[in-house]
Amino acid sequence: MNSTENQQILQYLMFNQVLEHTFLIKFFTKISKLTEIKEIETKLEENIQTINQLISNFHLEIKRITSEIDLKNYWCFVNKQHDSFFTVATNYKPAQLNIFKTLLSAIISNQGSLIIQDAIDIAVNEINDRNLIEETIINLINDKWLEKFNSDGKITLGVRTLAELDDYLQPEFESNLHECIICQNIVLNGEKCKRCSARLHRFCKENFFSTNSHPSCPACRQNW
């Protein structure tokens, strides 16, 4: 493995925190001088695997996650060791972290999404500063902690939250969270089997059913 490449990838991800896969591919193509896309994809995966082995002792990880909203792949630079929720997004003020925590709870309790105006109204009950709440929501969306539905103005948890706060979300909201039966990751805006409790991400469903002309639930084996 090229240690210089690994160092550049790590620095690039540490600086950006979250990167869409296509942007990381462009960056890696530039530094690696490779031209074949399959070779680029394979080599990047190998390099990231090596980097993760090297940084795991520091409770750090580069994690790949797919957005439930835009269905794009993202790479997140994740710190897996936090003393509390409030040590995660260190560039936010305490009041903004309280807003974020309130929105997390409200989104999960509301089956994975909230209309933005409803989110503002809920946060106002905790912190009576509408301007700060609106500013915080915009920042959380821009930083990928929250994600906005393009069609109907709702928000849900962003890829960065799902990647970095998984260990916080699971015990804190266990009764209101569901896992995709295919990938075992949190699913908020997927699909539910009509005959059992199984849930699937849309992208997991498409991959799982792509070669099956009569798709059945992977849990109960009944027609999906």
Mean pLDDT by 10 residues, the chain (224 residues): 87 96 96 92 96 94 94 93 64 90 94 94 92 96 92 90 88 88 92 92 89 83 87
Angstrom distance (rounded) from CA 22 to CA 26: 6
Terminal Cα-to-Cα distance of the chain (whole angstroms): 44
Bridge partners, residue 147, by sequence:
156
Tens-place pLDDT, residues 91-120:
889 899 999 999 999 999 998 999 999 999
Q: What is the pLDDT of residue 146?
A: 96
Angstrom distance (rounded) from CA 212 to CA 224: 11
Q: What is the pLDDT of residue 85?
A: 64
- 20, 149, 165, 10: CA torsion to nearest 10: 10
Which residue matches tokens 């990381």?
24
**Inter-residue contact 27 to 12 (CB < 8 Å):** yes
Q: What is the pLDDT of residue 101?
A: 92
**Inter-residue contact 69 to 86 (CB < 8 Å):** no
Q: What is the pLDDT of residue 152?
A: 75
Q: Which of 58, 96, 98 is nearest to 79 (CA)?
A: 58
43 DSSP assignment: H
Q: What is the pLDDT of residue 224?
A: 83
Q: What is the pLDDT of residue 89?
A: 66
**Inter-residue contact 76 to 88 (CB < 8 Å):** no
**Inter-residue contact 107 to 114 (CB < 8 Å):** yes
Tens-place pLDDT, residues 170-179:
888 888 889 9
Q: What is the pLDDT of residue 209?
A: 87
pTM of the predicted model as reported, rounded to 2 decimal places: 0.87
Instruction: Spell out where the chain has E strands.
Output: 18-20, 60-66, 73-79, 114-115, 146-148, 154-157, 191-192, 199-200
Q: What is the pLDDT of residue 174?
A: 83
Q: What is the pLDDT of residue 208?
A: 87
Q: What is the pLDDT of residue 215?
A: 83
